Amino acid sequence: MKLIYQNAFIKGYARRMIYYPTYTTQPKYINNQAIVEFRIKVIRFYEQYGLDATLSAFNLSRATLFLWRKRLREGDGKLESLAPISTRPITVQKRRPRPFHEAQIIKLRDKYPRIGKDKLKLILDKLCSLMGEEIISESTIGRILGDLKASGRMMPFGAVRFQGRTGNILDKKPRQRAKKLRRGGYYPKQPGDLVQVDCVTKFINGIKRYIISAIDYQSSFAYSYTYKTLNSNNARDFFIKLQSVAPFEVARVQTDNGQEFHRYFMEELDYQQLVHFWNYPRTPKSNGKIERYNRTIQEEFVDYHLNEMAYDLANFNYLLTDWLIYYNTRRPHYAHQIPIPNRKTKRQIPPLEAYCSMLQLTHRESNMLWTQTGSICRSRIFRRRMVWLHEHQELVYFYR
């Protein structure tokens, strides 16, 4: 059950509390909350300062103001009574049958396949003038074409495919694109709110290798792993590895539209109930943080270990983990700077130090080693795994 407070804060109307089941449709005013709040504000202003001041302040007509008060009074003070109502007219025009025009359009389409409604109108106007029939508009011709196709009186033009097993010829329907959630104006507030993920393909002596990388938008904490093949299953495996080493919980993920971020990768995000933002096509600047990191990792590490990357991938990932430890704990970052005491300049700090500053934690490095366990040592990438423990408001780094 969901508790919703109905409180108009208007003289003469009492406060209400109504329970709505979460599986039912929400009240109308929930989807128009901003509009309803504005109208409530206008009515309260009217009751306090009068008619002239209200009309001058909100640029409303007298009839509109009194109409809102009437609807609120007749609705027994319910907020949904102030929600916008449909402006659809009670009596709407119905489509009239046009047998002459339909027959002529069918004949013209059989004689001139794929002719459009704009060209059909020019020909049909001459026929209507000769036969004394009504001349119809181009949009009406388009609606008639749609009705004829829907009723099966005119075969729609489209691609077909041959089914080899049965020998049937089937219509090839266009693939319906799924609606993708875009980032829009969302801006993360703390580490883990938004993690950008991308992939880089490297060609070495005819051998392909794929580096999947992720970076946190706020703290710049980064993680990478290299695979022989690029598919959604490996992308899911990478994301699970990322969650096991990240010092924060990932809430939102932003990727491009590559196939590796579909199917199994999407299933994993849906299973964990995480938000997945998609970039617009051909707009890498939307993922600018990870694109800049891709350049850094190639210029500072990958280009110097191409031989290991091509012929000894396990050792390459081993070396890559060492570099990631350096990147996250030692390498200064331009995006994170802190003031130096008694100086006007600032000092660049690594991502994990910036993460500690954001959480207002002190940090120290630990030289302790874990005992080897089978669950951790299944992959060489975790032999130098980074684990962050929060104890007594301190962030402790454990290296393997």
Q: What confidence tens digit (pLDDT) does each residue in 203-261 have? A: 999 999 999 999 999 999 999 999 999 999 999 999 999 999 999 999 999 999 999 99
Q: Domain total for the chain?
A: 4
Same domain, 296 and 365: no
Q: What is the pLDDT of residue 29?
A: 44
Whether pTM > 0.95 for this model: the answer is no
pLDDT at 123: 93
Same domain, 300 and 365: no
The residue out of 329, 358, 390 marking a domain boundary is 329
Name the domain boundary from 33, 56, 82. Answer: 82
133 and 31 part of one domain: no
Beta bridge partners of residue 2, listed in sequence order: 20
The tally of CA atoms less than 13 A away on the side-chain side of residue 195 is 25
Query: 372 with 280, same domain?
Result: no
* 352 shares a domain with 319: no
Length of the chain (residues): 400
For residue range 303-348, what is the model confidence (pLDDT) as tens digits? 999 999 999 999 999 999 999 999 999 999 988 988 888 888 888 9
**Domain boundaries, position 133:** 99-151
Q: Are residues 205 and 287 in the same domain?
A: yes
Question: Please, how many CA atoms are within 13 Å of residue 323, restricted to the half-sphere of its CB?
Answer: 19
Tell me: do 343 and 325 sit in the same domain: no
Residues 289 and 392 in one domain: no
Higher pLDDT, 168 or 208: 208
> Does residue 290 sit in the same domain as residue 200?
yes
Q: Are residues 231 and 214 in the same domain?
A: yes
Q: How many CB atoms lie within 10 A of CB 298?
A: 14
Residues 322 and 389 reside in one and the same domain = no
Question: Between residues 141 and 361, which one has the greater pLDDT?
Answer: 141
Exposed/middle/buried for residue 219 (C-beta within 10 Å: 0-12, 13-18, 19+): buried
- Rounded to an integer, what distance in angstroms lies between the CA atom of residue 147 and that of residue 139? 13
Q: Which CATH number belongs to the domain containing residue 309 in this structure? A: 3.30.420.10
Cα Rg of the chain, angstroms: 32
Confidence of residue 362 (pLDDT cuts 50, 70, 90): low
At residue 24 the predicted structure's pLDDT band, cuts being 50, 70 and 90, is: very low
258/236 same-domain check: yes
Mean pLDDT over each residue of the chain, to the nearest integer: 82
CA distance 230 to 210: 6
Asked if the structure places residue 143 within a domain, the reply is yes
